[in-house]
């Protein structure tokens, strides 16, 4: 798994999972699975294009999420990314939103994404 931290004009891009997915309708930082033969950054570019219909430039890793779900252990690098072309739309997710950092903890995030959402909200300049 891999995720993106995309910010624009003081807001963070988040995506809502579909109702037919695990952890239905929870919010998360956009991203997805790394397929065989691709790097995490290549996977992130592909996932954002598939799910949000825009292209991104992937930057540095800003966090690594470690979370033990009941059925698997998640280790997920989170990369800073910027949108190169297009505007995010909900193509394979229920919804997308641009949220102020301080408002992130008010959303019902997936359990793995809660610590990052709280940290971003508490950082100076948020």
Residues 61-76: tens digit of each pLDDT: 999 999 999 999 999 9
Q: What is the pLDDT of residue 126?
A: 45
Could you tell me which of 98, 108, 105, 107 has the C-alpha nearest to residue 120?
105
Q: Which of 90, 68, 95, 98 is closest to 6 using CA atoms? A: 98
Q: 56 with 73: CB under 8 angstroms?
A: no
For residue 124, the model assigns a pLDDT of 65
The pTM score is 0.93
CATH number of residue 112's parent domain: 3.90.79.10
Does residue 113 have a pLDDT over 80?
yes
- Total of domains in the chain: 1
Residue numbers of the domain that contains 74: 2-122
Residue 125: pLDDT over 60 = no
């Amino acid at each position: 798994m891999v995720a993106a931290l995309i910010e624009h004009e003081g807001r963070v891009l988040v995506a809502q999972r579909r109702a037919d997915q695990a952890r239905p309708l929870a919010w998360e930082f956009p991203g997805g699975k790394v397929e065989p033969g691709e790097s995490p950054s290549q996977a992130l570019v592909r996932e954002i294009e598939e799910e949000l219909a825009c292209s991104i430039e992937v930057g540095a890793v800003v966090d690594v999420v470690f979370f033990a779900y009941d059925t698997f252990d998640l280790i997920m690098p989170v990369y800073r990314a910027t949108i190169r072309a297009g505007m995010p739309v909900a193509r394979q997710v229920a919804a997308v939103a641009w949220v102020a950092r301080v408002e992130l903890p008010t959303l019902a995030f997936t359990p793995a994404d809660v610590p990052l959402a709280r940290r971003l909200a508490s950082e100076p300049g948020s």
